[in-house]
Amino acid sequence: MALHRRDILAGAAALTAAAITGNARAQVAAARSGGILTVAADTEPRNLNPAMVASNGVFYVASKVIEPLAEMIDGGDGLAPRLATRWEGSSDGRTVTFTLRDGVSWHDGKPFTSADVDFSAMRLWKPLQNLGRTVFKNLEAVDTPDARTAVFRFSVPTPFQLVRNALPGLASVVPKHLYDVGDIATNPANTRLVGTGPFRFAEHRPGEFYRLEKNPAYWEAGRPYLDQIIYRVLPDRGAIAAALEANQIQLAAFSAVPLADMERLAKVPGIAVIPQGYDGITYQLTVEINHRRKELADARVRRAIAHAIDRKFVVDTIFLGYAKPSNGPVPAFDKQFHRTDLPDSGFDRRRAEALLDEAGLPRGGNGMRFSVRLLPAPWFEQTRQFGDYLRQALRAVGIDAQIANNDPAAHLKAVYTDHAFDLAIGSLVYRNDPAISTTILYESGLPAGVPFSNQYGYASPAMDGLVRRAASAVDPAERTALYRDMQMLAATDLPLIHVAEFTFLTVARRSVMNVANNPRWATSHWADTWLSA
Amino acid sequence: MTRVLRLLALRGLSAIPTLLIVACGAFLLLEFAAGDAVDAYLAQTGGDAGFAAELRRSLGLGGTFAERLAGFLVSLATIDLGQSVVFARPVASVIAERLPNTLLLMASTTLFAAGFGLGLGMLAGRHPNSFADHGISTAALVLLAIPNFWLGLLLVVGLAVSWPLFPVAGIRSLIGTGGLVGALLDLLHHLVLPTLALGAGYIALYLRTLRAGMVEAWQSDHVRAARARGLSEASVLRRGVVRPALLPSLVVAGQNIGTLVGGSVVVETLFAIPGMGRLAFEAVTGRDTALLVGVVMSATLLVLVINLVVDLAMAWLDPRLGAVDG
Amino acid sequence: MGDSLAARLLGTTAGLAGLLLLLAVAIMAMTAPWLFPADPFDIVARPLLRPFSQIQHPLGTDRLGRDLLAMIAHGTRPSLVTALSVAAVALGIGLATGALAGMFGGLVDELIMRLADALQTVPPFVVALAVVSVLGPSLPGLVAALSLSAWTAPARVVRAEVMRLRSAAFVESSLLLGRNRAIVALQVVLPNAITVALALAAVIVAGALLSEAALSFLGLGDPNRPSWGALIAEGRQVMRTAPHVIIAPGIALFLTVLAVSLVGEGVAKALSRHNN
């Protein structure tokens, strides 16, 4: 198993390395313009506007049409210019100044200016966007001294580190002149996108496909290479694998192909399995715990559950090696914050049983100590499969788990509004800064009904204090230190249990070049993607 | 003629309570479901409490049960299908987009199943208890017992991937295939596997019905008389046997429209065909009440209309039947 | 009916074959807890073990390394219980409503038959799908959903039969003798109607088996019990790498439905000979 995995990784790494190093040469010699890239899409978001809905399903299509201020890259300081060419934060955390790119125009021909950035930030990101509502909540105004400069003014000190980390995902700019009229939520441009990106939105036939076509007036000369990108709607994973093999599509991102098929697909001539390109959107497989249940309010019981889980089995069998064991809230990819010295809750059934005995929960007549309702989230094949695994793992230490499968709406309501669960299995996304979507899992006092937040009934004054202080820590070193303390507390208190972190895989025909050359590749611009003959 | 009109009027009137029951059922179902359209939506995006409240308000999901019920009844009374939450478009336009695909699948399945079923039924019924008859009848039982989703999977593995003769999924190619004829051939090409998966079981139904009808007809007095009069086998077959035996097949066609729609849910999911079946599933998952009511009502209407057509056809084929009261 | 019908059923090839096959399935259902005493969901071996490669796991294992044969065997009983419950409920309701409609006619008949019309018009699988996805995959919910339209067919048959019998001379005379209508219905008409409805039972059971499997296939089954449909759905993810994961449970489902259909066929034949 491990051997195969390494082979695949090595092969894919070699391929991308070739693609990346080849890139410099490619620009002069090999890169070929033209061609239609057909890719698989498994959802059709109702609202495709990334300035309102920051989600991977939206970005997958929209990031080619609508651009953010900056994009994420490997190496350097992690960011590269897109619509902004420079960004600078003041030392008091009150202002951030952006210098915008010159000579950019919207797909309808109108020029892109700082007024568009002002409008997008104040009218969309801050009041309407699912994630921007948190990060930009203290954004007071955006000053536009000239058409190329936008100055963000915050009412309370806001860490520049946080603003920077939010740029690739939360700062997509939409045209003011189209959104200025009427209700933004029902604007037709939310589904027929108009942006500045390398591709123009051409057509959406619901249930069948999206079609994007080359923007001939793109600001980066000579790009994009592709004439068209077609997103073929294929809700079924088995069908996607089959379509790839039959060369009816050339690329499937976000592990849209069953993991179990990867090993076989990697051997199909002309197909490559590429694990890179998703570090910027790492998912965390977690056991969410309802602390209102008296047994689970005991930290020893939570620790016992952590010890009952064989993370190696989970990684090797459920993720077929395409994941890493995890024991804390910040994934290893984020070198800035991740801490490696967290206490390890390794697989140890005897220790788990001892802890449960210690907590006063002996095995009863039927061999079980107590029973729990286990709700695996329906988000991924792996969350469901981990549910099947966890049920067996818990039974082995005397906890009788009964699984209830729900569809997305029912799951969300049961866990985050009604708290009608004992254990749930979630796959939370880490969005490059603990303040964006991680601290919300630990702080107390949130109203019921906020999805993917601490609806677990966990309340710790120490934790709340750390979160609060970090939120307004302007000094990057201080802020980093606070988040490192927070990780330690999370790992000892175990309000929720991190099991594994995983990113996705891209499966593509080898004719598709420049795949996975940045950490958010599937949700980036694809201006430099091309098809070899 | 007046009889036909009376039939139409009667059926039209009796359809109304049916449609009302069905619409209310769909509405109540989603009212009692855990989670609403906003929960379904937030599952994809996340968002804070204010965000959820704002969405609920803008989608008209905020009020009490009574308010939503009132809104639902008003839209029902004004025959307004309303807006789909999942698609952010009028329900009618979503349905108009999906219905043709389902109709195509149903039509091709019915033609395929009836064609094969009637042919085989004729063979089997000509000589009851012969070797051919037993073989065909056994085959019919086997076809009836094969789960359609399982057959579909096996067909995909065999004829779309291992041996790529047919497309894996979808209803048409994305890139135009040249002219009307090309498009038509492309469509048929895509329909082959779904039709086989969905139609296999129905072959058996037609086959058995026609066989039974034929056996009876061959033994009937007027066929015996006709043969005694020395009429040719072919003309006896056509006039005395096949025609009366076809009537029950029509009944079978009408009776099975409902299950055909149900079966298409599974087959459309399997082959990623954007039809009504998949739409019903999407409506339930998205807690899209307006859409689900629209889908279920149009599916019901479809069944009612097809049954009416079947009745009219029967009245035309066999004037002795008093179609109105039958 | 009674002995002679059973004897006749055994006399038909279809009936005999069906009964034997059904017996095998029933034995599998009953002996599963004894043959495979461990939790069938236990992870016991390497994932995706091929069939016939290890004697302890003759049908191989699934994605997590769970024994397929154990899961298929344990999946038999829930499938049968669901299907038989649906048949029982549908026949019960069908008999009662059909008899009522047939005996009393008039407004009662009109109401019952309009309701039957309405339920029969709605695609039954769509109803089941919607109901189960809202109520969850509990046995009562599943049975209710699948019986919701299944009762209409027996109701119609019984109603027709009752109407035919009602005008028959012996019923007329007992009514003329001043017997209570309901008692007449119970004593004379129902036994006859039940015989007719029995032939429909096989069709209902077979349909329920397939619908239940299809619902599980779509992910709407009970995850705490092994189920053939769910196994096939899981196998779909690996159908190219390990086709045995869809083939084995599919064959179990197919043979069970075939057994029921064969018995149904046998009953129909036996009945028609019986009546002649």
Q: What is the mean pLDDT of residues B307-322?
A: 73
Using the predicted structure, report yes or no on whether residue A379 has a pLDDT greater than 80. yes
Neighboring chains of B (3 or more beta-carbon pairs < 8 A) = A, C
Q: What is the pLDDT of residue B236?
A: 73
Partnered with residue A36 across adjacent β-strands are A228
pLDDT digits (tens, 9 = 90+) for C164-177: 777 776 666 776 67
Using the predicted structure, report yes or no on whether residue A21 has a pLDDT greater than 70. no
Contacts of A406 in chain C (CB under 8 A): 136
Q: What is the mean pLDDT of residues B176-194?
A: 84
pLDDT band at B174 (very low <50, low <70, confident <90, very high): low
pLDDT band at B79 (very low <50, low <70, confident <90, very high): confident
- In this structure, what is the dihedral angle of CA atoms A385, A387, A392, A395, given to the nearest 10 degrees? 180
The least confident of A93-107, A513-527, B44-58 is B44-58
Beta strand A228-233 pairing with A209-214: antiparallel
End-to-end CA distance of chain A: 34
CA distance A109 to A90: 34
Q: Does C241 contact A387 at a Cβ distance shorter than 8 Å?
A: no
pLDDT digits (tens, 9 = 90+) for C246-267: 999 999 999 999 999 898 888 8
Using the predicted structure, report yes or no on whether residue C178 has a pLDDT greater than 90. no
- Share above pLDDT 70 across residues of chain A, in percent, rounded to a whole number: 95
Q: What is the pLDDT of residue C105?
A: 80
Q: Note whether A462 contacts B: Cβ–Cβ < 8 A.
A: no
C141 to chain B, closest Cα gap in Å? 13
Strands lying side by side in the sheet with A423-430: A324-325, A496-502, A282-289, A423-430, A370-376, A399-403
Closest-CA residue of chain A to B269: A236
> Which position has the token pair 């895509």?
B190
The least confident of A215-224, A266-275, A453-462, C143-152 is C143-152
Q: What is the pLDDT of residue C181?
A: 64
Number of Cβ pairs < 8 A linking chain A and chain C: 55
Higher pLDDT, C232 or C153: C232
Q: What is the mean pLDDT of residues C48-59?
A: 89
Q: Does A408 contact B285 at a Cβ distance shorter than 8 Å?
A: yes
Q: Does B51 contact A130 at a Cβ distance shorter than 8 Å?
A: yes
Neighboring chains of C (3 or more beta-carbon pairs < 8 A) = A, B
pLDDT band at A273 (very low <50, low <70, confident <90, very high): very high
Contacts of C224 in chain A (CB under 8 A): 391, 402-403
CA distance A45 to B86: 8
Q: Is the dihedral of CA B20, B107, C230, A43 positive or negative?
A: negative
Contacts of A392 in chain C (CB under 8 A): 39, 41-43
Q: Does B21 contact C118 at a Cβ distance shorter than 8 Å?
A: yes
pLDDT digits (tens, 9 = 90+) for A226-250: 999 999 988 777 778 878 888 889 9
Report the interhelical angle of C124-135 vs C190-217 (nearest 10°).
60
When scoring B29, B31, B51, B85 by the number of chain A Cβ atoms within 10 A, the one with the most, hence best to mutate, is B51
Using the predicted structure, report yes or no on whether residue A19 has a pLDDT greater than 50. no
Q: Note whether C176 contacts B: Cβ–Cβ < 8 A.
A: no
> Which position has the token pair 């008296």?
A294
Report pTM. Answer: 0.87
Using the predicted structure, report yes or no on whether residue C187 has a pLDDT greater than 80. no
Higher pLDDT, A119 or A181: A119
Q: What is the mean pLDDT of residues A304-316?
A: 96
Q: What is the pLDDT of residue A224?
A: 95
Q: Note whether C36 contacts B: Cβ–Cβ < 8 A.
A: no
pLDDT digits (tens, 9 = 90+) for A120-162: 999 999 998 988 988 899 999 999 999 999 999 999 999 998 9
Closest-CA residue of chain A to B48: A450
Tokens coding C101:
């409609």
Higher pLDDT, B54 or A289: A289
Of A128, A209, A450, the CB nearest to B174: A209
Of A260, A317, A381, the CB nearest to C241: A260
Q: Does C239 contact A404 at a Cβ distance shorter than 8 Å?
A: no
Of B44, B174, B274, the CB nearest to A230: B174
Closest-CA residue of chain C to B278: C126
pLDDT digits (tens, 9 = 90+) for A413-445: 999 999 999 999 999 889 888 998 899 999 999
- Which DSSP string corresponds to C189-257? IHHHHHHHHHHHHHHHHHHHHHHHHHHHHTT-S-TTS--HHHHHHHHHTTTTT-THHHHHHHHHHHHHH
Q: What is the mean pLDDT of residues B190-215?
A: 89
C72 to chain A, closest Cα gap in Å? 16
Using the predicted structure, report yes or no on whether residue A14 has a pLDDT greater than 60. no
Q: Note whether B26 contacts C: Cβ–Cβ < 8 A.
A: yes
Q: What is the pLDDT of residue C276?
A: 52
ipTM of the complex: 0.87
Q: Does C261 contact B281 at a Cβ distance shorter than 8 Å?
A: no
Q: Does C133 contact A402 at a Cβ distance shorter than 8 Å?
A: no
Q: Does C236 contact A387 at a Cβ distance shorter than 8 Å?
A: no
Contacts of C133 in chain A (CB under 8 A): 407
Contacts of C134 in chain B (CB under 8 A): 29-30, 32-34, 284
Tokens coding C161:
């039969």
pLDDT band at A259 (very low <50, low <70, confident <90, very high): confident
Chain B segment 239-278 residues within 8 A of C by beta carbon are 258-263, 265-266, 269, 277
Q: Does A191 contact B44 at a Cβ distance shorter than 8 Å?
A: no
Q: What is the pLDDT of residue A114?
A: 96
Q: What is the mean pLDDT of residues C80-95?
A: 93
Mean confidence (pLDDT) of chain C: 84
Higher pLDDT, A298 or A449: A298
Q: What is the mean pLDDT of residues A508-519?
A: 93
CA distances from B95 to A96, B19, B71 (A): 48, 17, 21
pLDDT digits (tens, 9 = 90+) for C232-246: 998 887 887 788 999
Residues 6+ away with beta carbon under 8 Å from A157: A92, A93, A94, A472, A474
The least confident of B19-23, B221-225, B256-260 is B221-225
Higher pLDDT, B127 or B114: B114
Higher pLDDT, B275 or C167: B275
Partnered with residue A371 across adjacent β-strands are A400
Q: What is the pLDDT of residue A525?
A: 95
Q: What is the pLDDT of residue A12?
A: 39
Q: What is the pLDDT of residue C257?
A: 95
pLDDT band at A10 (very low <50, low <70, confident <90, very high): very low
Q: Does A391 contact C240 at a Cβ distance shorter than 8 Å?
A: no
pLDDT band at B269 (very low <50, low <70, confident <90, very high): confident
pLDDT digits (tens, 9 = 90+) for A387-410: 999 999 999 999 999 999 888 899
Mean confidence (pLDDT) of chain B: 83
pLDDT digits (tens, 9 = 90+) for A48-86: 999 998 888 899 999 999 999 999 998 888 899 999 999
Contacts of C137 in chain A (CB under 8 A): 405
